[in-house]
């Protein structure tokens, strides 16, 4: 296959052609650390793309595919799955942005085989720089040469989308029908693309699962992260240029210490409203934008239950803990918890409060801003879930289960203790979600015969509640605190 940088050779796999580890930008180590991505270096001959490329530097994974892959600052690569039969015209393109709290993950986690072989979609997954290497604000310390450092992870994604525009037709993909999709931190990246001027025209619809623009930080919050990292590294402003020379492993070790300090919240990284890459007031900018891409967005009713189970600090309501997560908005979140505690048990009130203020409010504020621009929006709320309910990431479990079942419809019996287990009774919902997501990627409208008619989200706030018996609701209660200012979260 011919790209602008050179020829690539992949492998044939179950009705698809797979190309792994294609460079979409130059290496970012050495003199290029903390700088925006540069075009990929050309190569001679045919580049073998049978194996995944290196992951972005991060805390080493203990198991799974990430534990098997090398880490390197030469990580800006992407992967393409394309249908074997592309003789009947160019196919829609799906670009998946992985999650991981802005500090972990890889495009290698994402498998596009079923989307390509059964849905006729050209699937792309990618790596982007993470943590300090992708989102550390350094302009004040290192000068204008590093003015975009707080958003280099986002600029990496933009560079990958530019690569798609220039090269995907050679893989059978239609560059005029590109859908970006992400879950969790990946969803926050996708939503942030809406406010990046550099991303305009590079995608044509988006699916945002459990995340929105709430991860965008103001420069002051970003500065707290930078100072915390310097402190952990034993550096001062005067010798901060040592950041350019330290081994990447030292940066990852230090950022992990900062990121899990109880005074800073769980995750400290994310895009920055620097006024250069991202405007100072992202939501206000959206409201006055024109010709934004159609949006499918939503969240799950029990998102926070998995965090409460896994983090001892969250297992009891605590205003001090909320201050670590929500900063100046902590009082509003505490008020919401007290409000819910009057009608439900403390445990339910705590889960509902964290879910709404980590995900629900952000999704609704983002959707309403996109609507004001004139773009169509479809909102979902997932109610069906496993033993902990519809937890963070559960919509991905349903869709992936439906994909794995394929045309056979076979769904194996899952382990009973797995909170992400999908049971056989959820088969029809999983199939319906797969069908809706695929329809949206193909034509920009998620309506299919497998789910109730799904109206656009507007003044009546019509929302498709995804459950064993799905229904459209216009009477869902607004979250307590829905009118609080646009919030800056630190959890992904």
Domain CATH code at residue 391:
3.40.50.1820
CB atoms within 10 A of CB 201: 13
Same domain, 146 and 212: yes
> Which pLDDT score is estimated for 61?
78
Domain identity same for 281 and 355: no
Domain that holds residue 453: 300-492
- What is the phi/psi pair of residue 272, to 5°? -125, 130
Same domain, 125 and 100: yes
Neighbours of 85 (CB within 10 A): 12
- Of 184, 192, 289, 470, the catalytic one is 184
Which one, of 463, 409, 471, lies nearest residue 434 by Cα? 409
87 labelled catalytic:
no
Gap between the Cα atoms of 442 and 23, Å rounded:
27
Q: Which of 334, 368, 327 is nearest to 491 (CA)?
A: 327
- pLDDT, the chain, mean: 91
Residues 239 and 339 in one domain: no
382 has pLDDT over 70 = yes
| 287, 385: one domain | no
Q: Using CA atoms, how far apart are residues 168 and 171, in angstroms rounded to an integer? A: 5
380 sits in which H/E element: strand 377-382
Q: Which of 265, 293, 321 is the last residue of a domain?
A: 293
Per-residue confidence (pLDDT) for residue 256, from 0 to 100: 85
Domain boundary among 293, 312, 343: 293
Same-domain check for residues 50 and 137: yes
**Catalytic annotation present for 303:** yes
Please give the pLDDT value at position 410: 56
pLDDT for 155 equals 98
Q: Are 364 and 482 in contact (CB under 8 A)?
A: yes
Q: Please give the pLDDT value at position 491.
A: 38
User: Is there a single domain that holds both residue 208 and residue 74?
Assistant: yes
**Distance between CA atoms of 434 and 269, rounded to whole angstroms?**
31
| 263, 336: one domain | no
Average pLDDT value for residue range 8-35:
96
- Our count of domains for the chain comes to 2
Spell 136-155 as b/e; 16+ CB within 10 A means b.
bbbbebeeeebbbbbbbbbb
Quick one: 289 and 304 in the same domain? no
Residues contacting residue 334 through CB under 8 Å, at least 6 positions apart: 319, 322
Is 184 a catalytic site residue? yes
pLDDT digits (tens, 9 = 90+) for 328-360: 888 999 999 999 999 999 999 999 999 999 999
Quick one: pLDDT at residue 482?
58
**Element holding 394 (H helix, E strand):** helix 394-405
Residues 309 and 457 both lie in one domain: yes
What span, in angstroms and rounded, lies between the C-alpha atoms of 2 and 15?
20
Banded pLDDT at 260 (limits 50, 70, 90): very low
**Are 193 and 304 contained in the same domain?**
no
- Answer yes or no: do 269 and 144 share one domain: yes
* Residue of 392, 397, 438, 486 marked active site: 392
Given 109, 119, 137, 303, the catalytic residue: 303
């Amino acid at each position: 296959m011919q790209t602008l940088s050179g020829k690539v050779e992949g492998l044939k796999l179950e009705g698809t052609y797979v190309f792994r580890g294609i460079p979409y930008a130059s290496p970012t180590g050495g003199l290029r650390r903390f700088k925006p991505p540069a075009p990929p270096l050309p190569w001679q001959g045919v580049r073998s793309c049978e194996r995944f490329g290196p992951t972005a530097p991060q805390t080493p994974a203990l198991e799974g595919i990430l534990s098997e892959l090398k880490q390197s600052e030469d990580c800006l690569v992407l992967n393409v799955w394309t249908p074997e039969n592309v003789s009947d015209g160019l196919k829609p393109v799906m670009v998946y942005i992985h999650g991981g709290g802005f500090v972990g993950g890889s495009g290698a986690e994402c498998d596009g085989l079923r989307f390509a072989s059964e849905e006729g979609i050209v699937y792309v997954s990618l790596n982007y720089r993470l943590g300090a290497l992708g989102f550390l604000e350094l302009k004040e310390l290192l000068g204008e040469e590093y003015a975009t450092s707080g958003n280099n992870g986002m600029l990496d994604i933009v560079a990958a989308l530019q690569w798609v525009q220039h090269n995907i037709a050679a893989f059978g993909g239609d560059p005029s029908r590109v859908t970006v999709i992400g879950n969790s931190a990946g969803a926050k990246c996708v939503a942030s693309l809406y406010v990046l001027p550099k991303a305009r025209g590079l995608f044509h619809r988006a699916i945002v699962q459990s995340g929105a623009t709430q991860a965008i930080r103001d420069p002051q919050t970003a500065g707290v992260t930078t100072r915390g990292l310097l402190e952990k590294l034993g550096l001062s402003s005067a010798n901060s240029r040592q950041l350019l020379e330290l081994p990447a492993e030292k940066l990852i070790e230090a950022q992990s210490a900062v990121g899990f300090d109880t005074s800073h919240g769980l995750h400290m990284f994310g895009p920055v409203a620097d006024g250069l890459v991202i405007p100072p007031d992202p939501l206000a900018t959206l409201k006055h934008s024109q010709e934004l891409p159609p949006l499918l967005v939503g969240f799950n009713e029990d998102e926070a239950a998995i965090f409460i189970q896994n983090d001892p600090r969250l297992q009891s309501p605590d205003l001090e803990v909320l201050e670590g997560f929500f900063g100046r908005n902590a009082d509003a979140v505490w008020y919401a918890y007290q409000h819910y505690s009057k009608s439900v048990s403390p445990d339910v009130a705590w889960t509902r409060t964290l879910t709404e203020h980590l995900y629900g409010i952000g999704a609704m504020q983002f959707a309403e801003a996109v609507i004001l621009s004139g773009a169509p929006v479809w909102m979902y709320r997932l109610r069906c879930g496993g033993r902990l309910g519809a937890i963070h990431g559960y919509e991905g479990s349903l869709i992936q289960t439906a994909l794995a079942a394929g045309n056979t419809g076979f769904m194996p019996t899952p382990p009973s203790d797995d909170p992400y287990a999908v049971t056989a009774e959820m088969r029809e919902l999983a199939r319906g979600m797969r069908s809706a997501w695929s329809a949206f990627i193909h034509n920009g409208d998620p309506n299919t015969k497998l789910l109730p008619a799904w109206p656009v989200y507007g003044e009546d706030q019509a929302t498709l509640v995804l459950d064993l018996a799905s229904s459209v609701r216009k009477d869902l209660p607004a979250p307590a605190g829905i009118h609080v200012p646009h919030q800056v979260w630190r959890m992904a």
